[in-house]
Structure 1
Amino acid sequence: MAGNVHGPGSGLPLWGLALAAALIPLLTIHLTYLVSAMEGHVPWCMPYLESCTSISRTGRHGTAYFIFKGTMLPAAILGMLFWWLNPHWLRQLGATPGRLGWITLLGVTACLALVLYTLVLGHVGDGFRLLRRTGVVLYFSLTYLAQLLLSQALSGAPGWRRRGQGLLTLCVVTLSVAMLTVVLQVVAYDFYQGIEDSFEWIIALLVNAHALWVAVLWRRSRFSASIQVDHDG
């Protein structure tokens, strides 16, 4: 039995996997916020604007603790598959193969960082805090780099330049937001401390928006897979 990943044609459509990899983390953080707020662990607010709670805090206590771990760990596995499949997709679109291997390496490592972050979330102590911080920083930074390489590769594929440029523009927006946080920490640290959590929510939204866009492009390109059974003798 052998599995084949291929472009337009018959087979099992793969865009649903990409959609799940993008949507599950995004839906999870909003669900855990709502559950945590209902249980009184975080205040009611608009976290994108009011900076009332971090994403981490929404999954530390009560029912949300189990929801976060029970959804983010499968999401990380889906993410690994998503990043493993992206170079196959790009090759079939005619992208230059030069850096495609880095996309998988960066993306899978980012998902492993998400696993680390998810496992230690809710545990108290300086060591756990360091692991949690390391996990979230690696997850966002490596995911961004993988998305940037994917966008660049897609912009070089015949017939896909405009869509690749659109993804690159989204990457520029994400980088601009991240750089703004750095600048504010230097020039207005006290002010930044009051809005830091909102930036975290915005960056998470932008990162998942990129993945959602890629899922739509997988669907438009009819990216699919098939399983072939080989009979010996």
Structure 2
Amino acid sequence: MHAHTVRLWWLALAAALIPLVTIHLTFLVSVLEGHVPLCVPYWDSCTSISRTGRHGTAYFIFKGTMLPAAVLGMLFWLLNGFWLRHLGVGPRARIWVPLLGVTSCMALGIYTLALGHEGEGFNLLRRIGVVVYLSFTFLCELLVSGALIQHPRWQRQGQRMLMLSELVLLVGIASVILNGVSPELYQRTDDAFEWVFALLINLHALWIAWLWRESGFRGRLWAG
């Protein structure tokens, strides 16, 4: 048996890019087919991410890409545990990142399957799915950032990534405060918060992909 190694950063890149590209593609398709208005959802708050994938061609694009993305995301977070072990940092993060990451991607899969179906049960699954996916993904990225601060080479990158995670947290806190202070204004802007939150967590995942590349993170394959 001969061992061969392959660089894994491309997997992390795909795990970060597929969800990000999908929501923008389904938004564009939904606009062209007349299901959502033409706007800039990041500040116009004209449509939710869910609404872009509920009707027409976008429905099939969303399900056809997000379900594989959920599976790829599970692998991404599992490998992050091995990556942190490879770097020799984050003993607790090595345990929690795979557990939380796999759970978050399972929630993404449930959310995707429930999307486009009517009924209180499906609505509940969608709400639980999106909350668990976004919150647990944020926790994973926070843990990875904190672990990297312990590494002499990646300490500065870890600090910057932690700042990005803090920005994600501020967006979440701002939405909660706005909902408590002015529910009517929150209802008019909550979709924009969702878009910004999703963008930031995927940018963080792209950052991790770049660090995988720079650190030379590899997987080992065996061939006869």
TM-score range relative to shorter protein = over 0.9
| CA distance in 2 between partners of 1:122 and 1:2 (Å) | 48
CA contact (8 A) 1:94 1:158 kept: no
Aligned to 2:166: 172
Aligned to 2:69: 75
**Pick aligned residue for 1:136 from 124, 130, 133:** 130
1:101-180 to structure 2, matched below 5 A, reads 101-180=95-174
Aligned to 2:188: 194
1:76-125: CA deviations, max 9, x gaps? 11100100000111111121423311000000000000000000000001
Aligned to 2:46: 52
**Pick aligned residue for 1:34 from 28, 35, 40:** 28
1:84 aligns with 2:71: no
Structure of greater relative contact order (alpha carbons < 8 Å, 6+ residues apart)? 1
For normalisation by structure 2, the TM-score amounts to 0.97
Aligned-residue RMSD, C-alpha: 1.4
SS of the counterpart of 2:36? coil
| CA distance in 2 between partners of 1:96 and 1:133 (Å) | 31
1:11 CA displacement: 2.0
Residues 47 and 96 of structure 1: is their aligned pair in 2 closer, same or farther, counting only changes over 3 Å? closer
Letter in 2 for 1:153: A
Q: Which ranges in structure 1 are unaligned for 5 or more consecutive residues?
A: 4-9
Letter in 1 for 2:168: T
| CA distance in 1 between partners of 2:131 and 2:92 (Å) | 27
SS of the counterpart of 1:135? helix
Moved runs in structure 1, 4+ residues, more than 2 A?
A: none
1:21-51: CA deviations, max 9, x gaps? 0000000000000000100000000010101
| CA distance in 1 between partners of 2:85 and 2:93 (Å) | 11
| CA distance in 2 between partners of 1:64 and 1:163 (Å) | 37
CA contact (8 A) 1:93 1:158 kept: no
1:229 CA displacement: 3.9
1:225 CA displacement: 1.1
SS of the counterpart of 1:11? strand
Letter in 1 for 2:49: I
1:189-211: CA deviations, max 9, x gaps? 11111111111000000010000
Aligned to 2:201: 207
1:15 aligns with 2:4: no
**Pick aligned residue for 1:97 from 87, 91, 102:** 91
Letter in 1 for 2:205: A
CA contact (8 A) 1:42 1:58 kept: yes
1:2 CA displacement: 9.4
| CA distance in 2 between partners of 1:192 and 1:75 (Å) | 30
Which range moved further: 79-88 or 89-98? 89-98
Q: Which ranges in structure 2 are unaligned for 5 or more consecutive residues?
A: none
| CA distance in 1 between partners of 2:93 and 2:184 (Å) | 41
**Identity between Structure 1 and Structure 2 (%):** 60
SS of the counterpart of 2:132? helix
